[in-house]
A and B are shown apart, each in its own frame.
Chain A
């Protein structure tokens, strides 16, 4: 058998490391031929998704190399590269990918021998590790069901569309971006215009918020229609305009194909009681990954999971946590990547079944919706009860098993689309809020079925209109006079915080409001 030869991609800064590699050549320093260099102008140009996509493509190792601090041709690009690299390393580490597979190194133009040595070292280390599990050749293909436009129309009964345009008139995306129209999307599909239907970046602007379907006189399930259309588009290579360079989608794809054990529970301290024999599972979701990725917004998303555990422990529940739980697949499914979704669903279903739990509790409405509705629909039966934390807490309140101390705050509540319109859960979170003495709940103008989305779904097509939508919602929240905007979805929180962080926003202080997850508010009110 021939020895395994690692394949390494180097992103080399034009001014330093690329020159160092040339110097190694001029000096005829011999190093292993396992490296393929991509020249970039500055290491600061190397985006996190470049690294993760290189890993996805099957690189056994990735080296990002630039100028030493203080020597950057562009003043500080290398320092920015370092920040981004640190974030990617943290994410990769959480995925369980060995540290040796991705490296950052400063190599100056004169340091040809160092370049050669770095490659030698990397090749040696990677040989010890063996081939990347993400190499394409190592994969087994997934059987794809051939889908046509006609199938989608049939499945979703979108042909019942009366062209009344109620959907377009209620669509929050259309309100801010008039070039988007759900009705037109359906019409194009009904006319059989496959290219117009699939090769359209706006296809990925739909939030799947269900505002339209609730008004549709023909009961067309537009979000599901849209989701299926996206899977068709995905097959033709369309993915809209992924936010954050597509890093989040790439991480999920890596996770779906990864044989590594994740290190996603490192935040879990002894303070919290969990049990491997519990009947109740707490589904953590993607929150641990959000922490480094959205660190720049200073969102402390892990505080939400901590608060959930605190609540459960307070109620005498020592839940089970799955150390190798994977993404629920929501974003993959809603961006048309059915293959990735199925891998994830299969993995999670197996894990949950093996765990033998009776009940799963969610702090993320997307995970809840996906496991409750989409897993069974795609043939993944879990065979246990599912609940959102707000439902669980509301139940306990009803049974008088839970009492709160006083918290004197005025709050308003954001119904996340997945919890509200998707699953019809409007009352539980409100019951919980009303049970806390001192809390005054003031509803926004648009609430419950009419609530507005936070502006982005499945981390795709986050543009200026998404931002406007968030600003609109925040203004509504401020208009209530509330001090806190309470939500039950970590993504809502990220999106609102992003909007408030927006330097281009002239409304600035007018939209600033404390955003808090219901779990955090509940945890703070525990006696």
Chain B
């Protein structure tokens, strides 16, 4: 296609009547006449509906006939119609970023229906501002980035394995990295699963076999991700294995590193008295069939929902109820008390399970953070004293075994991984998704996805659902084979950059890095990662950073045009 000469702006203005939506309130013929007078406007016309086939061909015809190199449509809103008009420009050989939209319907005729004269005046102002910006528009290209058709899954627990299998079953090569010598994660220690009471091993075993035998999955055990460079489409991954290093390139990454149960050292005699253990330790004992004693007391929220760790770990109530349930089921004569602060048994299945536990004889006593239970006993726990909130008195429970229900806490490696992948952690140290509601399994960093307890304590069902979600998101770019980077992004004038690094800190996408240039270090923006929010440009003390399509010059031209 012939390159258009852009040095002298030749602007075409198309004003839409939108039937009566604009035309009945804004004097469109008057506006068109006004537009014709504006500098660099070589053509202005009105259309009944600029978005109709007729209107679109009028734009294309205008571009050819008047040799337009900038197009402005004054009509509805760019939020619905910009793609259509941009496409019209493109079809007529004009770069689509040489198009400017002026909103004279949603933000003018519809909201000033009783003041047609003022609405007309406003429409003229807006068009004058639009023309001022259009004069400065520059063509932009969206760069295409090739995507390597493979994925990395970090974490070989049930969630990571499900994500890996899902991706592999879609035909993509998957590298599955597990830091332990075996696959299975936390579930390897778990006895049975709520609410079905099915043995965890029965879930894990076939899954591990399936993963190991899958031709598309390469598993790395006793390995850690050492380094990740690059961005969506081409992440270069280095692994630190037990005895060797591995390197490969992947298109997308799924983080499924899970979480760790808190060791409540020093609390309620844990670590000192032999008959105090955590729920997970209890489960290991149950798996081995060891005797548990006649009187079992469980304390929930040990180390959770306390000032230093304010969150609710969600899965622990059900874990305690499950273990209490199983104890009562195998030994109906045993007594089991659960001391709790609130019970979290959401949904139909969990609530039913909770009621069943009560039917089996598990007893629940509520305690408050202000008056926590106390351990009585020297060598080992003999009794538990608890202030009964409803009775308003202290009671003593006989205790052969004290089980502490502790929350899941962020895995130790999270800090490292977050730095390596340039993804965020929340205040507690769990991974933080891009948007709680709208992008629940994605990170703000393109091409990196999150699922399972790495984000927030989840049970197996939720974890697997999230694994499917993350895998399907991660498969998107792999299937397309390429991704398009935002054309409206920030760019650096390296000569003007003083290398102060203000931008690097501000960028929410970590797209900016100071890089060496002629013995100096200057700001470098990775255009594949930049999303074009412009926060960096607004803060640059040297005026070295600008935003494509929203340069200072373009914004200020609109301001000046309004008051000229």
In whole Å, how far is B160's beta carbon from the nearest beta carbon of chain A?
A: 26
CA distance A41 to B546 in the complex (A): 13
CA distance A359 to B164 in the complex (A): 80
Given known A41-B550, A75-B434, contact A46–B538 (CB-CB < 8 A): yes
Closest A residue, CB atoms, query B77: A22
CB pair B444–A30 under 8 Å, yes or no, is no
CA distance A41 to B558 in the complex (A): 15
CA distance A196 to B555 in the complex (A): 28
CB pair B111–A44 under 8 Å, yes or no, is no
In whole Å, how far is A73's beta carbon from the nearest beta carbon of chain B?
A: 8
CA distance A9 to B514 in the complex (A): 35
A504: which of B105, B115, B488, B514 is its contact (CB, 8 Å)?
B514
Q: Does B187 contact A (CB under 8 A)?
A: no
Q: Which of A122-130, A298-306, A339-347, A458-466 has 4 or more CB atoms under 8 Å from chain B? A: A458-466
Q: Does B306 contact A (CB under 8 A)?
A: no
Of residues 76 to 125 in A, which have CB atoms within 8 Å of B's CB atoms? Answer: 76-77, 80-81, 84, 116
Q: Does B103 contact A (CB under 8 A)?
A: yes
Q: Does B539 contact A (CB under 8 A)?
A: yes
Q: Does B535 contact A (CB under 8 A)?
A: yes
Contacts of B110 in A (CB 8 A): 25-26, 28
A77: which of B502, B535, B562 is its contact (CB, 8 Å)?
B535
Most buried by A among B498, B501, B556: B498
CB pair A41–B532 under 8 Å, yes or no, is yes
Contacts of B363 in A (CB 8 A): none
In whole Å, how far is B92's beta carbon from the nearest beta carbon of chain A?
A: 24
Of residues 457 to 498 in A, which have CB atoms within 8 Å of B's CB atoms? Answer: 462-464, 466-468, 498
Contacts of B392 in A (CB 8 A): none
A219-258 CB mask vs B (1 if < 8 Å, else 0) is 0000000000000000000000111111000000000000
B111-133 CB mask vs A (1 if < 8 Å, else 0) is 11111001101100110010000
Closest A residue, CB atoms, query B115: A33
CB pair B559–A59 under 8 Å, yes or no, is yes
Q: Does A433 contact B (CB under 8 A)?
A: no
Closest B residue, CB atoms, query A296: B502
Q: Does A18 contact B (CB under 8 A)?
A: yes
Q: Does B201 contact A (CB under 8 A)?
A: no
B498-524 CB mask vs A (1 if < 8 Å, else 0) is 111110111011000010000011110
Contacts of A58 in B (CB 8 A): 563
Given known A241-B543, A464-B495, A504-B501, contact A7–B538 (CB-CB < 8 A): no
Contacts of B514 in A (CB 8 A): 503-504
Q: Does A40 contact B (CB under 8 A)?
A: yes
CB pair A463–B521 under 8 Å, yes or no, is no
Q: Does A419 contact B (CB under 8 A)?
A: no
CB pair A75–B508 under 8 Å, yes or no, is yes
CB pair A503–B535 under 8 Å, yes or no, is no
Q: Does B106 contact A (CB under 8 A)?
A: yes
A38: which of B119, B499, B559 is its contact (CB, 8 Å)?
B559
A42: which of B114, B496, B499, B533 is its contact (CB, 8 Å)?
B533
A50: which of B114, B504, B556, B563 is its contact (CB, 8 Å)?
B556
Contacts of B550 in A (CB 8 A): 40-41, 45
Given known A31-B111, A75-B434, contact A45–B533 (CB-CB < 8 A): yes
Contacts of A502 in B (CB 8 A): 498-501
Contacts of B230 in A (CB 8 A): none
CA distance A348 to B227 in the complex (A): 61
Closest B residue, CB atoms, query A49: B552
Q: Does B334 contact A (CB under 8 A)?
A: no
Q: Does A36 contact B (CB under 8 A)?
A: yes
Q: Does B373 contact A (CB under 8 A)?
A: no
B526-556 CB mask vs A (1 if < 8 Å, else 0) is 0000011111011111111001001010011
CB pair A462–B534 under 8 Å, yes or no, is no
B412-453 CB mask vs A (1 if < 8 Å, else 0) is 000000000000000000000010100000001000000000
Q: Does A19 contact B (CB under 8 A)?
A: yes
Most buried by B among A18, A22, A42, A504: A504
Q: Does A506 contact B (CB under 8 A)?
A: yes
Given known A74-B533, A464-B522, A468-B520, contact A7–B563 (CB-CB < 8 A): yes
CA distance A246 to B538 in the complex (A): 11
How many interface residues does chain A have, given as a range? 35 or more
B111: which of A25, A45, A244, A245 is its contact (CB, 8 Å)?
A25
CB pair A41–B125 under 8 Å, yes or no, is no
B500: which of A28, A75, A504 is its contact (CB, 8 Å)?
A504
CB pair B505–A243 under 8 Å, yes or no, is no
Q: Does A57 contact B (CB under 8 A)?
A: yes
Most buried by A among B103, B111, B504: B111
Of residues 43 to 66 in B, which have CB atoms within 8 Å of A's CB atoms? Answer: none
CB pair B501–A76 under 8 Å, yes or no, is no
How many interface residues does chain B have, given as a range? 35 or more
A-B pair number, CB within 8 angstroms: 196
Contacts of B508 in A (CB 8 A): 72, 74-77
Q: Does A277 contact B (CB under 8 A)?
A: no
Contacts of A450 in B (CB 8 A): none
Q: Does B294 contact A (CB under 8 A)?
A: no
Given known A40-B534, A50-B552, contact A29–B111 (CB-CB < 8 A): yes
CA distance A38 to B128 in the complex (A): 12
B488: which of A21, A41, A77 is its contact (CB, 8 Å)?
A41
Q: Does A523 contact B (CB under 8 A)?
A: no
CA distance A29 to B107 in the complex (A): 10
CB pair A37–B113 under 8 Å, yes or no, is no
CA distance A46 to B504 in the complex (A): 18
Q: Does A351 contact B (CB under 8 A)?
A: no
A30: which of B114, B126, B494, B531 is its contact (CB, 8 Å)?
B114
Q: Does A24 contact B (CB under 8 A)?
A: yes
Most buried by A among B106, B552, B559: B559
Closest A residue, CB atoms, query B517: A464
Contacts of B560 in A (CB 8 A): 57
CA distance A506 to B499 in the complex (A): 10
Contacts of B531 in A (CB 8 A): 74
Given known A57-B562, A503-B500, A504-B520, contact A33–B122 (CB-CB < 8 A): yes
Q: Does B261 contact A (CB under 8 A)?
A: no
CA distance A498 to B502 in the complex (A): 11
Contacts of A245 in B (CB 8 A): 538, 540-541, 543, 552
Closest B residue, CB atoms, query A40: B550
CB pair B118–A33 under 8 Å, yes or no, is yes
Closest A residue, CB atoms, query B560: A57
Given known A42-B533, A75-B434, A76-B508, contact A505–B499 (CB-CB < 8 A): yes
A36: which of B122, B521, B552 is its contact (CB, 8 Å)?
B122
B498: which of A24, A28, A48, A467 is its contact (CB, 8 Å)?
A467
Most buried by A among B113, B523, B535: B535
CA distance A74 to B562 in the complex (A): 29
CB pair A504–B552 under 8 Å, yes or no, is no
Closest A residue, CB atoms, query B490: A45
B559: which of A42, A57, A243, A296 is its contact (CB, 8 Å)?
A57
A5-20 CB mask vs B (1 if < 8 Å, else 0) is 0010100001000110
Q: Does A39 contact B (CB under 8 A)?
A: yes
Q: Does A403 contact B (CB under 8 A)?
A: no
Given known A41-B534, A41-B550, A505-B521, contact A80–B500 (CB-CB < 8 A): no
Given known A39-B78, A466-B498, contact A26–B559 (CB-CB < 8 A): no
**A→B interface (CB under 8 Å):** 7, 9, 14, 18-19, 21-22, 24-26, 28-31, 33, 36-42, 44-50, 53-54, 57-59, 70, 72-77, 80-81, 84, 116, 135-136, 241-246, 296, 462-464, 466-468, 498, 501-506
14 pairs, A vs B, C-beta closer than 8 Å: A21-B106, A30-B111, A30-B113, A33-B111, A40-B555, A41-B547, A50-B552, A57-B559, A74-B508, A84-B539, A241-B543, A245-B543, A462-B498, A467-B520
Top 3 closest pairs, chain A to chain B, by CB: A503-B501, A504-B499, A45-B534
Since A22-B77, A25-B107, A504-B522 are in contact, a sample of 10 more A-B pairs with Cβ atoms closer than 8 Å, ordered by chain A residue number, is A25-B106, A30-B111, A31-B112, A45-B535, A47-B539, A53-B559, A70-B436, A75-B508, A80-B539, A243-B541
